[in-house]
Structure 1
Amino acid sequence: MTFLLRPSLLFFTNPEWGQANVILATIHEFLVVDQYDDFEQSFQPRLGMLWKYPALASAFPFPIPWHLVPANIYLWVRMAKTIAGAALDKSSRLRKVNDARGACGLHGPPPVINASKVASRIICPSLPELDFPMRVRPTTFGCGPIALPKRVLGELDPQMDMWLRRKGMKTILVNLGTHHTMDSTLSLEIARTLKQILDKVSDLQILWKIMLRGDGQQEDIVKVFGPELFTQKRIRLERWLKADPVALLDTGKVIAQVHHGGANTYFECCQSGVPQVILASWWDTYEYAARVEYLGVGVFANKKAAPRAQNDEFLAALLEVIGNPEMSAKARELASVCQRNGEGRVRARDLIVDILHTQGSTAHDNFLEAEAAEQG
């Protein structure tokens, strides 16, 4: 996700003109992005965006093999052509949105299109060690993963904490994101794969946070696992988790997380040192799948089946991750990098406060000078 911090309408009375000048001085000051390549790819030398980095939603690996470079260039060109065509087509959603913005006095393209040119500071929750190698402009600040303050799972959900800490058991967390709902076909394919790995690995238990689309799906999933696994408490199906997922990861009892490739989950796993199994399903989730494989901290588990899942491919990915001490070591190494760097939310806050203080002081001084000139 990308956020351009810009107020649209604010009201001020006469005594507040100083504060108004402070805000005017910081409009378009900050742009918050998910990863470096959101706005750094286009600034890479030798048109690196076209041949070096995977095109958005391409599911290509990094580095891109030479035989895929022509296809990668084609995808970028096709995307640009599609966006340009939508901007010119009066019936397109993009054109209607932009016309509505113009009617409200907001002229020019939507902020996301030229945001990197408008914002003088870009804040990114990534770090060079967590991303593809690329040249990053001095105005782009990598603060590291931005996560909620750490809280103890035992205080948030004592029952879950006890289950995670069951003697001799290791846990896989399956969490495909709040917005990812599954139809019956996909949920049953995933369930069959999870059942198989539970049968293969006797000291494994699985926590599955699952968002379902229709009635009866959960009953069908329960049948796949069978009553014995539930009696043994080796499988838990939860529609919602009382504790934030990062609290579970920080227990050190989760040996892998299966997720959809969302930015938040990716960075939480990096911060907690947990290997990742990604079932990518849309847009930039394919980029995060490529990242975990490039960094050696996870597996792209549906390369052939995306945006769905296929039993054999998914099972092979799970077995590769849970039986790979080298991958676990690399994941812990990334966690150490994040720890040495400091908490991302704190570093981002400090930068924003520092810039606001500097810009605010300058704007206030300019206001006082202008006011003095008027009175003089």
Structure 2
Amino acid sequence: MFLRLLLVAGAVIAALVALFIPSSPQREPYVQGRNKTALFITNIQHGLSNVHVATASALLEGYPDIEVHFASFPKLREKLARVSAFAQAKTPAAKDIVFHELRGQPFAEAMQLLGATQESTISPPGIAGIDQFTNNMQDWVSPWGVEEHMVLYDEISALIEEVDPAVVVLEVLLRPALDSTRDKNRLHAIISPNTLLDSFRGDQPYGSMFWKYPAWSSGFDFPVPWRNMLENIYLNFRFIYAVMLTPNLSAKKAELRTRGLKDPINFLKMHRPDVPWITMNTEGASIPVDVVPTNVTCAGPILLSVAPASEQDPELAGWVSQGPTVLINLGSGFEYSINYVRPMVGALVDVLTKTDIQVLWKFKKLGEYSDDELAPLKPFLENGRLRLSNWLPIDVLSLLETGDIVASVHHGGSNCFHEAVSAGVPHVILPLWVDLYNFAALSETAGIGVWGCRDTSPDWTADGISSAIIKVVDGGNASISLREKAKSLGDKVRAGEKGRDISAREIAKLAYVK
């Protein structure tokens, strides 16, 4: 009886949500520009843009007759030049990516002006962190003020006119680009690093987003356990309110409409049935959904394929090959405050004392504290079993593909998760905010990873980190199972077509004007 009531309630709730979302208007056919031309427009953050860079690279290699343009902020220029050179080494007919520098305000800078910091982003899962999450959500949807939004909107509009591409390729968090492209009615596609559930939770039937699928930031298992059902419903309601009804976002939308924008910052209507949407959803490494919306392509991991590790940095690749190595890499932007460095140091002392592995730790300091905090690690630095680096001279995927990495310790970002999945390497996930908790739970459900410090997240303890790493590397029954399942899944992913090639093929279809 209780289940039936939940099903009915979920269906009613879903219907009520639909009332707030206007149906898609009848549209004229999209405008296509010059034949064999694609324009990518993205933010610079690796977690947002890597899928686009990987797709652009595959376009250069597989479709050298297509002219690839890429608009972003200055820091991405060097990376795209490297991608062009690598693609040309594989496909001599490949051309350079044409880079267009956006002079408007980058996403991170806009966030900082709103007072966002790493510490303000970190939040616990579930109800304990929902207030912070929903407050942050208003900024994440679109952090630019009206004037800054208009600067980028106008700049991108002019660029589209100048390049006149057959297709514009977008991401979900550069909202001025999405608004500009749609207001100009240009043919476009969206590539997302997220999974189907992340993007299309609300499309699932019978209101199952409330009672079956774990809410964003919940970290609940799938399907949602009975004990978490009411909390899951509450979390979903709070999320809907955050993106639809909050005064700050509503006022910004209203002002942008007065400036001539037709449907600005419509977060809940980003997907259109007539617009291709490409996702990294991967069978065996994603929560299965009941409904896949029209025009959505599940490409699996969309990853940048570059030179082997031995070519990128022979010395570091040689060190990694000396023995089983744990890679600790909490994404491109994470920096270690004193509250995070202390438990990590304690954990590494424990792991390096109890096992014979070696550790490569991407470490970047946040705040002022003494280097003495790292003193307990000195013996392991001196004997060569531990390396610290504030950046990795070898791309993470290339490191994982060496076969020498026995565990990938990361924060649960989609790119980090899918890199390890593709390489068949088990995970130790230390999530810090929002969707990271769901990837951590997913790794355990799939049997390919461990959620470290699950009981204390987002705070860490030395014991929580060390026990998670040791569980993966100690050779016991749990370790063997994790490694075998991760390897089996990785073998299956690599046996199929590469996600970046699937993504590039979908974009190429649109770049050829019919």
Normalising by the residue count of structure 2, what TM-score does the alignment of the two structures yield? 0.63
Distance 1:325 1:68 in 2: 31
Distance 1:57 1:11, change over 3 A: closer
Aligned to 1:191: 345
- Name the SS for the 1:128 alignment partner: coil
User: Of the candidates 298, 304, 308, which is equivalent to residue 142 of structure 1?
Assistant: 298
User: Of the candidates 409, 416, 434, which is equivalent to residue 265 of structure 1?
Assistant: 416
- Name the SS for the 2:271 alignment partner: helix
User: Of the candidates 157, 172, 180, which is equivalent to residue 8 of structure 1?
Assistant: 157
1:67-98 Cα deviation digits (max 9, x unpaired): 10111001101222233331xx2xx2x23542
The amino acid across from 2:374 in the alignment is V
Distance 1:63 1:312, change over 3 A: farther
The amino acid across from 1:76 in the alignment is N
Q: Is the 8 A contact 1:277 1:318 kept in 2?
A: yes
The amino acid across from 2:186 in the alignment is I
Distance 2:428 2:386 in 1: 18
Superposition pairs for residues 83-94 of structure 1, below 5 Å? 83-86=243-246, 89=247, 92=248, 94=249
1:100-136 Cα deviation digits (max 9, x unpaired): 5324422224143310137521100222222001132
Task: Compare 65-74 and 206-215 and name the one that shifted more.
Answer: 206-215
How many positions carry a matched residue from both structures? 345
Superposition pairs for residues 201-216 of structure 1, below 5 Å? 201=355, 203-216=356-369
* Residue 37 of structure 1 pairs with residue 197 of structure 2: yes
1:297-339 Cα deviation digits (max 9, x unpaired): 0011122211121222222211221131111111111212221
Distance 2:220 2:160 in 1: 49
Distance 1:242 1:70, change over 3 A: same
Q: Runs in 1 of length 4+ with deviation above 6 angstroms?
A: 1-6, 20-26
Aligned to 1:248: 399
Superposition pairs for residues 208-247 of structure 1, below 5 Å? 208-217=361-370, 219-225=371-377, 227-247=378-398
* Residue 164 of structure 1 pairs with residue 313 of structure 2: no
Could you tell me how far 1:220 is from its partner in structure 2? 2.9
Distance 2:273 2:157 in 1: 15
Q: Is the 8 A contact 1:144 1:341 kept in 2?
A: no
- Name the SS for the 2:270 alignment partner: helix
User: Of the candidates 251, 256, 276, which is equivalent to residue 121 of structure 1?
Assistant: 276
Question: Percent identity, aligned pairs only?
Answer: 28
Distance 2:240 2:341 in 1: 35
1:183-205 Cα deviation digits (max 9, x unpaired): 1121111110111011111x211
Unaligned 5+ runs, structure 2: 1-46, 53-70, 72-152, 169-180
Aligned to 2:67: none
Distance 1:296 1:311, change over 3 A: same
Unaligned 5+ runs, structure 1: 362-376
Distance 1:95 1:118, change over 3 A: farther
Task: Compare 30-39 and 281-290 and name the one that shifted more.
Answer: 30-39
The amino acid across from 2:498 in the alignment is E
1:265-306 Cα deviation digits (max 9, x unpaired): 111001111100000001211111111111110011122211
Distance 1:8 1:128 in 2: 38
Aligned to 2:498: 343
The structure with more radius of gyration:
1
- Name the SS for the 1:130 alignment partner: coil
Could you tell me how far 1:355 is from its partner in structure 2? 2.9
The amino acid across from 1:204 in the alignment is I
Distance 1:233 1:26 in 2: 58
Aligned alpha-carbon RMSD (Å): 2.6
The amino acid across from 2:279 in the alignment is C
Could you tell me how far 1:41 is from its partner in structure 2? 1.8
The amino acid across from 1:8 in the alignment is S
Distance 1:277 1:81 in 2: 33
Q: Is the 8 A contact 2:337 2:367 kept in 1?
A: yes
Aligned to 1:95: 250
- Name the SS for the 1:116 alignment partner: coil
1:209-242 Cα deviation digits (max 9, x unpaired): 012112445x1342121x3211211111100111
